Structure 1
Amino acid sequence: MSPATIDLTTCEREPIHILGHIQSHGYLIAIHPDTHSIVHASDNIVDLVGVEAAQLLGQSIDTMLTGTDIPIGTLTELLNVGQRNESWETLNPYRLTLNGKGWNLIIHQQQELLILEWEPIDDDRHQFINQQLIAQALTEVQASRTLTELLQNTAKRVKTIIGFDRVMVYRFGADWHGHVVAEEKDDHLEPFLGLHYPASDIPRQARELYKVNLVRLIVNAGSVPARLLSQPDWPEDQPLDLTHSVLRAVSPVHIEYLKNMGVKASMSISLLYRGELWGLISCHNSTPRFVDYPARQAAKFVSQLLSAALEFRKDKEDQTNLQQYQQTGLQLNEQLLFSDDVVRALTKLPVTALDVTGATGAALLFNNKLYQLGQTPNDTQILALADWIRTNGTETFLETDQLPNIYPPAEEFRAVGAGLLTIVLSRELNEYLFWFKPERIQQVTWAGNPEKPVTVGTDGTQRLSPRTSFAAWTELVHNTSESWSEAEISVVVKLREDILQIVTRQANEIRLLNQRLQLAYEELDAFSYTVSHDLRTPLSSIRCYSEILIEEYGQDLAPDAQDLLQKVIESTDRMHKLIRHILYYSRMGRTELDTQPVDMRQLLEGIRDEILVTTKDRSLRIEIGDTPSITADFTMAIQLFTNLLGNAAKYTQPTPEGLVQINGSQTDKEVIYSIEDNGIGFDMKQAGKMFDLFKRLENARGFEGSGVGLAIVKRIITRHQGKIWFHSEPNQGATFFVSFPTTPAV
């Protein structure tokens, strides 16, 4: 059978949040928030209230409670309290007795409906036991000396809380394959510790739900789910979204998977690191088992403790590594400035380029000569690698921990170079700095063959089915090195700027002229067309129409309206000035700089005031620290800092309170400004084209922008013989640094 005909995305496309059923151990209704009329109901609701679901649809919840021992006003008042507070967290679960039996009522709002779910209540003594276990868990998190010990203690604590046969801590890799890194189990069970599971076992949409619902319980994989009924006039294409439901039924594919494993009940507790899925606490039981809501919340709290501990330990480790590499980078920069000789500074002095990362080998290709440090491929292999990098479109840097998989000739030297981090000094001159990491051969033991079998349906359609064999299956993983850290990439990006600053000083006049002319002509064409055709004409029309309105109807307009029209005219004037500045900038490579001392306090406060006026509808603080003066072209300095501060403010929009901090410092040789924000940040591995014209990073596409701002910033700072670099992590904000030499640029 041709692989092209196999449906490889069966699991990925399964709509697991709108299955139309719930697990049969509980009951569900969905009501209108305003009228409290029932829109959806599980068909087993009759067992709870004695009325068929079909008879309840369209009726008030009062009708549902008529034959029960719950006072009608009790539930109504509860709903009113939750709606007034716009929160259900403090109310869930609401304990009530219905027809002589205790129940937990869990409520949440999904889109335009309130969803009410009933689950049984376990013995009250569990509440006290859970509180004791949580207190013990707090002590263990603080006492655990290693990550392995912390994970194992957490698995043990969760097993005590929920009583399942097996509790595993399951960690995701970069490729979403999973690895069991801790386990607590009953003695008669075979161990799963150390086993790997393929990414296809937990498809993408399931991983997304794990980030929303931190606890997921499957009580009985063999039970028949209860169907959800809807009122007759409800649109068929709008099924009830059960994303946040505690009773959401189980995907048939996952049921089949659990049965293949011999698991009747399961529970998953999410482990997050900076908002992303780090792993799962995966719990299995060989018989059906119900864990009530308070016990699940206790287990969830333990997992949140673990998530917080993971984040603290990882942040501390990352910060230590970053500081160490940054210190080495500073020493290299000092060597570059002191010796003014790139090769000597990077390869001959006590601190070398090899020291700024955890690589075991480094190589510098510069001025048609190759210099090697540590363990590297041979000369021929490195030169061939450089040719490949030059032709594959790499503009700034390239990093991979699986070089042979993207560059097959690297298999010849994978023992020293399975991982590659390289910065481009000049594509045109074929100048690069390489770092290499050796192959790290791994013996991976899978929980069964990770390849899912292909089955053929009655209509001949091929699909992937859950694996049926979970016998251990071992393979050796080749062509992979230790991954490059964010700290290593950040320091290397900064080092590239340091080197290019020296290279620029050493470049001969013809080389500089050719580079400037090429950049100037390419960008001038784009800017000239945009400015002259797309900006100037509509701006002139806006100004003209505003003047006509004032002249013709000014006496009939309210003073506020006249003021607004005048502000429109003033804004178009400012835009015309900005256009002139852009046109001037496009010719910047061929004109002299008008450098002068710049009062940075006055400049930054003016920019801050303009930004705050345009963002007054949200919470934003722009804090200005020390402001040493710089020597620069005043117009270009305004454009540079307006772009950097404007970007910082823009990308803090998703945060409740945006914060941008600007601070300057001065040394004997340069003035450095940092612009730090608490916005969306970005992945350093995707930042290779940060300063390219009209290029934007993937996570910035939801924000308005043209992709021109940072290209302008880069051009201006280069023109002033300064440097720009940055450091960021997703969802952790970004910091941009710009430096101006104390000796004025010419």
Structure 2
Amino acid sequence: MSHSDITPTQATNLIHHEPIYLPTSIQPHGVLLGLSSQLEIGWLSNNTQDFLGKQPRELLNQPLSTLLNAEQVKAIEQFCQHQESSVYSFKLSIQTSKGEQYFDAIAHRTQSTVILELEPTDSINQISFLNFHALVQEAIAKMRTTSNLTDFLHLVVSEVQKVTKFDRVMVYQFDQMGAGSVVAEVKRSDLSPYLGLHYPATDIPQQARELYQRCLLRFIPDMNAQPVELLAVENPETHSTPVDLNLSVLRSTHPCCVEYHQNMGVTAILVIALIKEQKLWGLISCHHQAPKHIPYEVRKMCEFLGQIVSLELEHKVNQSELDYKIKLQSLQADFIESISKADNFREALIYPEPRLLDIVNAQGAAVCLDNDITLVGATPTIEEVRALIEWVDTQITDNLFSTDSLPKLYPEAVAFKDTASGLLVLRISKLRRYYILWFRPEVIQTVNWAGQPNEPIQVNPDGSFTLCPRVSFELWQETVRLTSFCWKSCEVESAIALRNAIVGIVLSKADELAKINQDLERSNRDLASFAFAASHDLKEPLRGIYNYSNVLLEDYAQLLDEDGMEYLNTVVSLSVRMETLINSLLRLSLLGQGQLNLQATDLNNLLCQVIDVVRASRTPAQLDIRIPRLMPTIQCEPVLVSEVFSNLIINAFKYNDKQDKWVEIGYLDIHQQPEKRLQQLQPQTSAPYVFYVQDNGIGIPEHHYQTIFRLFKRLHSQEKYGGGTGAGLAISKKIVERHGGLIWVESCVGIGSALYFTL
């Protein structure tokens, strides 16, 4: 198996389980003592003769007082009362065969042992706080006044190099997958640059990362130095329990780590952890070509600097993210406000176009409202988007889906990688197919690796994996394709906030609409009741006026002069007209009450009956009625539909001043007819037929197309075209709407009109 055959999961498992330190040895530049709770020496390093002038066997199983004075022992006793994982450091001196020797003492507790580490130093005097402050205050001041993150990190490496004098100091940042890259560097002029190079996750195993979060600094002064073994009291119970060296400053170095740095030409390292939001964000990594010792106090100063850098880093990264998040929130607030005020939801989403794209920094978008898909910006085709929605519907969780490499998950996306290598999907409704999809194009990136990234993983003959040091750190380039810029968390949050706002707006509008409908329904009911009662009550006195007027005309005509007779005839005429208007109003009010009695109706029979009634009231020569083909059978209330056809036929002949008048009655198949008008109608109705009544009459001006359907609205004076109440088309419209249909007119003045309706 080659390196390229190793899956990311296998590599991750490997770096999780490969041991990275040896708990049975330490680095040789100091002494380690393992103390029991009674401060007896149960463990020690096998180099006490070199530093303390005593053989290990002289100290094993002895009280600490045989080595340190009473005051020093008391200080350690007091430390033992502190909580586990705390660290206590102090200066001490020990009388040896070589005279008085000075040490930096570092103590920490484990569950069962106190670890005391001693590093030789030249002086018993500690660096004063004022001296320490003077060393770091200038560096801290510079860091706090630098707002740009890149400039800040370059300042960090410069200041750390001033303090440590290492040949190379870098800031190494981890990405989401655990790989890292050098984002800042200062170095000796003759060394090759590492700035911009990437390193695989296996270069810093997971166990090492976890240790960096607990122990913020790691120092190895000489990679080539031979480790010193630990010796224990000859006690089977004690000997079987290895000492915990996780937090030891002298802890030995894993051979893989040693060889790794030797391959880089590095002899000494100092690494400082950078923590952001309680996670390991990166490292300040210092390299030196030759052995280099740094006093413990200077290392503590570097650790303090690292903590300051972590705090400032969190502020600067967060500030950069916050600025961008505020920008998105501002765009989103304007967007949501305009949606909440809009009458047309789809139009509000897509116009103006940049707004929908800017809230997540996308280059294209698709708005899917059921089967209606609208594209904005750079996108795949509608058919490709439709197929993509079918696929993403099986992938989406919590109303959201995002990827920066769509073609790797959905192979069909390779065809439109230039517009949609990145995809962010927001599902607005689970009940209806309401989606917003945002797209980002492919961004071809060249990643510069420090050597082949899979090189550290060796496959053994038995199929197991071993973590090995990389040999090559020369530039190794990898071209990353079919990938877009990744979606930032604040961009995803912006999309989620948009959905929540839309849902809130829709619910609010639904409540408003329900209240309006409720009020409207009550008003319509009250109005219908009023119209029925008013028309019924008005007819009685009106009938009296009519009857008494006729009595006067018949019995008292000889007593009236010519003007009196004319006045009485006018009263009779007006009362007849008033009764006609009241009957129309009563008819219209009754149309809104009760359920329709729908039944299968053969329109051919229905029209025969209607035409017979119309002919009975007119001279047959006047009626040229044409029916070009047999009419279909439909579900309707026949009495009401008869009234519609009757009203339209009578109007067609009434408003016609030509000598040869004709009317044509027929229907169009909405799914087969190519007429433009029907194409516009199709999304609004599911009716299979459009019926029409066409004539060669006087025509209707376009600005009156809606006026003619209003109650009692006439386009001509009472005397012209045979009079009429102006209620026929209003009643027809009401009947059509009761059947869930639409009615409209198309006309040309002087040529004729066509009334269309659906049921």
TM range (shorter): 0.5 to 0.7
What is the Cα deviation at residue 253 of structure 1?
A: 1.4
**Is 1:16 the counterpart of 2:13 in the alignment?**
no
What is the Cα deviation at residue 90 of structure 1?
A: 8.3
The verdict on how the C-alpha distance between 1:174 and 1:241 changes in structure 2, with shifts beyond 3 A counting, is same
- Secondary structure in structure 2 of the residue aligned to 1:93: strand
- Secondary structure in structure 2 of the residue aligned to 1:36: coil
Which amino acid in structure 1 is aligned with residue 483 of structure 2? T
- Secondary structure in structure 1 of the residue aligned to 2:368: strand
The verdict on how the C-alpha distance between 1:263 and 1:457 changes in structure 2, with shifts beyond 3 A counting, is same
Partner of 2:29: 25
Which amino acid in structure 2 is aligned with residue 323 of structure 1? I
| Contact 1:126/1:295 (<8 A) preserved | no
**Aligned-partner Cα distance in 2 for 1:210–1:464:** 19
Partner of 2:115: 115
The verdict on how the C-alpha distance between 1:45 and 1:16 changes in structure 2, with shifts beyond 3 A counting, is farther
**Aligned-partner Cα distance in 2 for 1:111–1:405:** 48
Partner of 1:445: 448
**Aligned-partner Cα distance in 2 for 1:208–1:94:** 29
Deviates more, 1:131-140 or 1:196-205: 131-140
Partner of 1:213: 215
Instruction: For 1:480-519, list aligned pairs within 5 A.
Output: 480-503=483-506
Partner of 2:710: none
Partner of 1:80: 77
**Aligned-partner Cα distance in 2 for 1:90–1:108:** 5
The verdict on how the C-alpha distance between 1:115 and 1:346 changes in structure 2, with shifts beyond 3 A counting, is same
| Contact 2:22/2:254 (<8 A) preserved | no
What is the Cα deviation at residue 393 of structure 1?
A: 4.7
The verdict on how the C-alpha distance between 1:163 and 1:331 changes in structure 2, with shifts beyond 3 A counting, is same
Partner of 2:181: 179
**Aligned-partner Cα distance in 1 for 2:457–2:304:** 40
**Aligned-partner Cα distance in 1 for 2:197–2:246:** 30
**Aligned-partner Cα distance in 1 for 2:6–2:448:** 29
**Aligned-partner Cα distance in 1 for 2:412–2:90:** 60
Partner of 2:732: none
Partner of 1:93: 90
Partner of 2:287: 284
CA RMSD of aligned residues (A): 2.9
**Aligned-partner Cα distance in 2 for 1:77–1:126:** 23
**Aligned-partner Cα distance in 2 for 1:303–1:4:** 36
| Contact 2:202/2:456 (<8 A) preserved | no
| Contact 1:213/1:244 (<8 A) preserved | yes
The verdict on how the C-alpha distance between 1:350 and 1:15 changes in structure 2, with shifts beyond 3 A counting, is closer
**Aligned-partner Cα distance in 2 for 1:78–1:235:** 26
**Is 1:102 the counterpart of 2:102 in the alignment?**
yes
- Secondary structure in structure 2 of the residue aligned to 1:391: coil
**Aligned-partner Cα distance in 1 for 2:240–2:412:** 52
| Contact 1:390/1:430 (<8 A) preserved | no
The verdict on how the C-alpha distance between 1:410 and 1:458 changes in structure 2, with shifts beyond 3 A counting, is closer
- Secondary structure in structure 2 of the residue aligned to 1:228: strand
**Aligned-partner Cα distance in 2 for 1:130–1:153:** 19
Partner of 1:51: 54
Partner of 2:388: 385
| Contact 2:166/2:287 (<8 A) preserved | yes
**Aligned-partner Cα distance in 2 for 1:456–1:406:** 28
**Is 1:326 the counterpart of 2:326 in the alignment?**
no
Which amino acid in structure 1 is aligned with residue 254 of structure 2? S
**Is 1:222 the counterpart of 2:254 in the alignment?**
no
**Aligned-partner Cα distance in 1 for 2:156–2:353:** 46
The verdict on how the C-alpha distance between 1:460 and 1:396 changes in structure 2, with shifts beyond 3 A counting, is closer
Instruction: For 1:113-512, list aligned pairs within 5 A.
Output: 113-121=113-121, 131-231=133-233, 232-234=235-237, 238-348=241-351, 352-427=355-430, 429-452=432-455, 455=458, 463-503=466-506
| Contact 1:419/1:439 (<8 A) preserved | yes
- Secondary structure in structure 1 of the residue aligned to 2:283: strand
Which amino acid in structure 1 is aligned with residue 163 of structure 2? I
| Contact 1:88/1:107 (<8 A) preserved | no
**Aligned-partner Cα distance in 2 for 1:227–1:217:** 19
TM-score, length-normalised on structure 1? Answer: 0.62
The verdict on how the C-alpha distance between 1:43 and 1:458 changes in structure 2, with shifts beyond 3 A counting, is farther
| Contact 2:147/2:316 (<8 A) preserved | no
Which amino acid in structure 1 is aligned with residue 30 of structure 2? G
| Contact 2:86/2:109 (<8 A) preserved | no
The verdict on how the C-alpha distance between 1:456 and 1:195 changes in structure 2, with shifts beyond 3 A counting, is closer
- Secondary structure in structure 2 of the residue aligned to 1:487: helix
Deviates more, 1:12-21 or 1:387-396: 12-21
Partner of 2:577: none
| Contact 1:364/1:432 (<8 A) preserved | yes
Which amino acid in structure 1 is aligned with residue 144 of structure 2? Q
**Aligned-partner Cα distance in 2 for 1:341–1:327:** 22
What is the Cα deviation at residue 7 of structure 1?
A: 7.4
**Aligned-partner Cα distance in 1 for 2:41–2:246:** 19
The verdict on how the C-alpha distance between 1:342 and 1:455 changes in structure 2, with shifts beyond 3 A counting, is same
Q: How many residues align?
A: 501
The verdict on how the C-alpha distance between 1:286 and 1:15 changes in structure 2, with shifts beyond 3 A counting, is same
Which amino acid in structure 2 is aligned with residue 15 of structure 1? P
Instruction: For 1:537-548, list aligned pairs within 5 A.
Output: none
**Aligned-partner Cα distance in 2 for 1:485–1:394:** 18
What is the Cα deviation at residue 17 of structure 1?
A: 5.4
What is the Cα deviation at residue 96 of structure 1?
A: 3.2
C-alpha offsets along residues 547-589 of structure 1, whole Å, 9 cap, x if unaligned?
A: xxxxxxxxxxxxxxxxxxxxxxxxxxxxxxxxxxxxxxxxxxx
| Contact 2:219/2:271 (<8 A) preserved | yes
**Aligned-partner Cα distance in 2 for 1:275–1:393:** 30
C-alpha offsets along residues 440-485 of structure 1, whole Å, 9 cap, x if unaligned?
A: 3222211111121555669886534221111111122223322322
The verdict on how the C-alpha distance between 1:478 and 1:237 changes in structure 2, with shifts beyond 3 A counting, is farther
- Secondary structure in structure 1 of the residue aligned to 2:280: strand
**Aligned-partner Cα distance in 2 for 1:342–1:75:** 78
**Aligned-partner Cα distance in 1 for 2:456–2:113:** 40
The verdict on how the C-alpha distance between 1:133 and 1:443 changes in structure 2, with shifts beyond 3 A counting, is farther
What is the Cα deviation at residue 420 of structure 1?
A: 1.9
- Secondary structure in structure 1 of the residue aligned to 2:236: coil
What is the Cα deviation at residue 437 of structure 1?
A: 2.3
C-alpha offsets along residues 382-404 of structure 1, whole Å, 9 cap, x if unaligned?
A: 22221111122534111222323
The verdict on how the C-alpha distance between 1:371 and 1:26 changes in structure 2, with shifts beyond 3 A counting, is same
**Aligned-partner Cα distance in 1 for 2:6–2:357:** 45
The verdict on how the C-alpha distance between 1:389 and 1:237 changes in structure 2, with shifts beyond 3 A counting, is farther
C-alpha offsets along residues 576-613 of structure 1, whole Å, 9 cap, x if unaligned?
A: xxxxxxxxxxxxxxxxxxxxxxxxxxxxxxxxxxxxxx
C-alpha offsets along residues 283-313 of structure 1, whole Å, 9 cap, x if unaligned?
A: 1111111112111111122222221111112
Partner of 1:711: none
- Secondary structure in structure 2 of the residue aligned to 1:47: helix
C-alpha offsets along residues 67-99 of structure 1, whole Å, 9 cap, x if unaligned?
A: xxx42x022111133234558968423343553
| Contact 1:43/1:228 (<8 A) preserved | yes
What is the Cα deviation at residue 348 of structure 1?
A: 2.5
What is the Cα deviation at residue 501 of structure 1?
A: 3.8
The verdict on how the C-alpha distance between 1:464 and 1:17 changes in structure 2, with shifts beyond 3 A counting, is closer
What is the Cα deviation at residue 486 of structure 1?
A: 2.5
**Aligned-partner Cα distance in 1 for 2:186–2:157:** 6
